[in-house]
């Protein structure tokens, strides 16, 4: 049981409140509170929370000491190769952040997978050791089934291709997703038409007619692709072949008309 009078207890509370208020004001006056000066905890973000195996996501790590070398691992089993957006090293910049694109392994099964950012100096080559690896930060990415693709016709002559083009159908995107298209061959790649929105069945249809004089208006094998969420969700690429026009068949020579015989013909036998 307290021996302090109600009046004394009330006075102590007011004094404590005044002292706390004074300390707060002084802290704000001379550089802010301790919480305001604390460095933010490391964090990791992905450009997309869903992706297909083999898709590409942009990973952004923040809250690190400048110059910290980083590594990204998935399910603590496999390191992800990242390509710095700014062309620098895989390390935190002067602002404590790093941004790079990463291609997800083709072997990933559909479902949730953990992507973690760790200190490269602590990265262990052995999978068992990685399970004990301290993680700076981690996120979850859900792997979804890869959309399917088809193209018609699969092969045609150059003259037919230049006139009619090809029609590609991609199915399995999220309904309402914005889908982009690409065309390429062994030496180049470009956009293959305007973006489209997937219908209620997750389907988009692309009709591609090449522009004469471009890299894709010749004989050869070409690949069409479709992707959403940046490049995170990518349909299976589909190929078609453009062949040379058939050579014109030369017509058979026509015999000259017979000339009438002006004298009697002689036959023997």
Does any domain span residue 178? Answer: yes
What 3-state class would DSSP assign to 121?
A: helix
The greatest distance separating any two alpha carbons of the chain, rounded to the nearest whole angstrom, comes to: 161
Can the peptide bond before residue 27 be classed as cis, meaning omega within 30 degrees of 0? no
Does any domain span residue 16? Answer: no
Whether residue 186 is found in the same domain as residue 131: no
| Non-local CB neighbours of 94 within 8 Å, separated by 6+ positions | 66
Whether residue 47 is found in the same domain as residue 139: yes
Token reading at 14: 């007011």
Structural domain for 132, as ranges: 43-143
Whether residue 186 is found in the same domain as residue 95: no
228 contacts 235 by C-beta, under 8 angstroms: no
227 contacts 180 by C-beta, under 8 angstroms: yes
Whether residue 156 is found in the same domain as residue 234: yes
- Domain final position from 113, 143, 173: 143
**Dist. CA 63–CA 84, nearest whole Å:** 17
51 contacts 70 by C-beta, under 8 angstroms: no
State the total domains in the chain: 2
Q: What's the alpha-carbon Rg for the chain, to the nearest Å? A: 35
Whether residue 139 is found in the same domain as residue 73: yes
Distances (CA, A) of 158 to 51, 164, 218, 242, 250: 36, 10, 7, 6, 21
Does any domain span residue 103? Answer: yes
Does any domain span residue 11? Answer: no
- Domain final position from 98, 117, 143: 143
Does any domain span residue 223? Answer: yes
**Dist. CA 52–CA 103, nearest whole Å:** 10
Whether residue 174 is found in the same domain as residue 130: no
Whether residue 163 is found in the same domain as residue 113: no
Per-residue pLDDT of the chain (269 residues; tens, 9 = 90+): 444 433 333 332 333 333 333 323 333 333 333 333 345 689 999 999 999 999 999 999 999 989 999 999 999 888 899 999 988 899 999 999 999 999 999 999 999 999 999 888 777 565 555 555 666 899 999 999 999 999 999 999 999 999 999 999 999 999 999 999 999 998 889 999 999 999 999 999 999 999 999 999 999 999 999 999 999 999 999 999 999 998 866 666 666 665 655 555 454 55
**Dist. CA 66–CA 78, nearest whole Å:** 25
Phi, psi of 76 (to 5 degrees): 55, 25
Number of other residues whose CB lies within 10 A of the CB of residue 72: 23
Does any domain span residue 74? Answer: yes
Burial (CB count within 10 angstroms: exposed 0-12, middle 13-18, buried 19+), residue 139: middle
pLDDT at site 186: 85
Does any domain span residue 116? Answer: yes
pLDDT at site 250: 67
**Dist. CA 190–CA 130, nearest whole Å:** 40
Distances (CA, A) of 204 to 149, 178, 195, 199: 10, 10, 10, 7
Does any domain span residue 12? Answer: no
- Domain final position from 117, 143, 169: 143
Whether residue 66 is found in the same domain as residue 120: yes
Whether residue 178 is found in the same domain as residue 208: yes
Whether residue 123 is found in the same domain as residue 172: no
CATH at 210: 2.60.40.230
CATH at 125: 2.60.40.1930
């Amino acid at each position: 049981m307290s021996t302090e009078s109600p009046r004394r207890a009330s006075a102590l509370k007011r004094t404590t409140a005044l002292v706390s208020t004074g300390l707060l004001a002084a802290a704000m006056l001379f550089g802010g509170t301790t919480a305001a000066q604390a460095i933010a905890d490391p964090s990791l973000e992905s450009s997309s929370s869903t992706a297909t195996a083999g898709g590409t996501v942009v990973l952004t790590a923040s809250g690190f000491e400048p110059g910290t070398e980083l590594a990204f691992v998935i399910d603590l089993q496999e390191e992800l190769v990242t390509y710095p957006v700014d062309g620098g090293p895989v390390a935190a910049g002067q602002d404590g952040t790093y941004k790079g694109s990463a291609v997800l392994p083709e072997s990933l099964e559909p479902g949730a997978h953990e992507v973690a950012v760790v200190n490269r100096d602590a990265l262990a080559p052995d999978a068992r050791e990685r399970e004990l690896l301290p993680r700076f930060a981690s996120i979850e990415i859900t792997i979804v089934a890869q959309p399917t693709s088809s193209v018609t016709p699969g092969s045609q002559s150059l003259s037919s291709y230049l006139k009619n083009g090809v029609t590609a159908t991609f199915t399995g995107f999220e309904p309402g997703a914005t889908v982009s298209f690409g065309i390429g061959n062994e030496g180049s790649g470009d956009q293959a038409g305007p973006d489209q929105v997937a219908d209620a069945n997750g389907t988009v249809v692309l009709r591609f007619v090449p522009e004469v004089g471009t890299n894709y208006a010749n004989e050869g094998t070409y690949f069409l692709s479709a992707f959403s969420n940046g490049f995170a969700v990518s349909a299976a690429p589909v190929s078609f072949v453009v062949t040379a026009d058939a050579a014109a068949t030369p017509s058979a020579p026509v015999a000259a008309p017979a000339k009438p015989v002006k004298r009697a013909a002689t036959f023997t036998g």
